[in-house]
Amino acid sequence: MRLKQMPPADFEARLKYLPTGGDQWKSVGLSFDVTAEGNEILAYASSYAGGPKSQIAFKQGGNYVYPPNAVQSRKLDLDQPHEIVLRARGTLLNMSVDGEHSIAFRLPTNLPRQRGFLEVIAFDAKVEFVAFELKALPADTKLVEAEAPKPMPAAPASLPVDQAQLGVTIAEKEVKSADAQLISIEARAVALVPHEAQAAKELAIAASKSERILAASRADEEVSRAELALLQAAADKKPDVEKKLVAAKAAFEAAQKAIDTPSETFTPLPGAKKTQEDYQNRNAGTPYPTTSTGRRTAFAKWLTDPRHPLPARVAVNHIWARHMGKPLVPTVFDFGRKGTPPTHPELLDWVAVELVENGWSMKHIHRLIVTSQTYRLSSSSAGAAEATVAAAPILTTASTGG
């Protein structure tokens, strides 16, 4: 929610809210200096189960920056009221949460304050806003000075050649595993589709084997990772790392031996429990039913039934218009009684039948049109016989859109 009026340059904003849920981040707070270019500064509290926190961040040049010296881990329970107080004086920001000082942060020198809007924000959160106050920051209000930013760690020294080579090997094996994962996903997807009994068995065996190949590829990765860890380990840590390397090699050998073990068991592909129906995702807790009514399948079959007079004709009419510049049915969105009849009904019917009989392949229709004699006619009727123009006006105008 954006305030209509611009806030004071130096201000104190107070937000009281009650978080009740959210899928993951459950972040609530304030955004200020919001500009038309998309830049903004944020101060928010997150009730993320994996690590609730308060945070000051900013967006500049299309990227969000989360300074490590502008975050604090803290308890932020759901279904409990919370209060955020943000005070800004120039580039110095103070954030308090639930009556306690939380963060003092000074904006970097390359990020000057900009005159912009102030917004109350909620990201991936269900929240009830209880109260909001905004006022100019009194001149006598003392702010906590920010600590100097922690120095960035020194750049690591160059790796020894043997370690660098292992790094390359690991990257190559990661690519191999990614390829194997794609093959496995495709094989399992095919196996999940109902087939005749013998075909279903063969597909299940192939899907199962693809998973074992993927497991072996990933185990091979782990061997290389363990080898690299051994090279990098301190002397007192090497015995433990050597044990991990031995275990990784044993796991890889076992995975290789398992590849050719026949099995019809494979991991089904996970499906979405719920499609997000609106930006608030209010029905996320209501998953798909375990059984389908079949309504969508029935609708799709009805649309693509060869006896249906509309879908194929509407589709080829659009394709024709995009190649020829003029549709066979001028009212492309109305094939009913209020629409204009086709200029060449037999041609429309013939191309529609071609679409249906060739598996609804749009590529087939594109190829059919662009390789036709009609499409390859000159785009000019200059020099054409009057009888030709009179007999086939669409052929002399369609290619130019005239």
Contact 28, 19 (CB under 8 A): yes
What's the pLDDT at 29? Answer: 97
First and final C-alpha spacing in the chain: 50
Predicted confidence at residue 380, as pLDDT, reads: 67
In 116-265, which residue ranges form alpha helices assigned H by DSSP? 161-192, 197-232, 238-258
CA–CA separation, 195 and 81 (whole Å) = 56
Average of pLDDT values for 220-243?
A: 93
Mean of all residue pLDDT scores within the chain: 89
Of the pLDDT bands very low, low, confident and very high (cuts 50, 70, 90), residue 201 is very high
The model's confidence at residue 402, banded by pLDDT at 50, 70 and 90, is very low
Asked if 2 and 34 count as a contact pair (C-beta separation under 8 A), the reply is yes
Q: What percent of the chain has pLDDT over 90?
A: 72
**Which residues fall within 8 angstroms of residue 257, CB to CB, at 6 or more apart?**
none
Instruction: Indicate whether 397 pLDDT > 70.
Output: no
Q: What is the mean pLDDT of residues 62-74?
A: 92
Quick one: pLDDT at residue 281?
63
E runs forming strands in 113-176:
117-123, 126-136
Res 271 pLDDT > 70: yes
Q: Pick the residue with more confidence: 326 or 400?
A: 326
379: confidence class by pLDDT, cuts 50, 70, 90: low
Instruction: Give the DSSP per-residue string, 63-78.
Output: EEE--TTSEEE----T
Mean pLDDT (whole number) for 256-262:
93
Q: What SS3 state is found at 153? A: coil
Q: What percent of the chain has pLDDT over 70?
A: 89
State the Cα–Cα distance between residues 315 and 46, nearest whole angstrom.
49
pLDDT grade for 400, boundaries at 50, 70 and 90: very low
pLDDT digits (tens, 9 = 90+) for 2-40: 999 999 999 999 999 999 999 889 999 999 999 988 899
**44 has a pLDDT exceeding 80:** yes
Give residue 399's pLDDT: 45
C-alpha gyration radius of the chain: 33
- At 312-368, the pLDDT tens digits run 999 999 999 999 999 999 999 999 888 899 999 999 999 999 999 999 999 999 999
Look up the pTM and report it.
0.42
Q: What is the pLDDT of residue 398?
A: 46
Mean pLDDT for the stretch of residues 365-384: 83
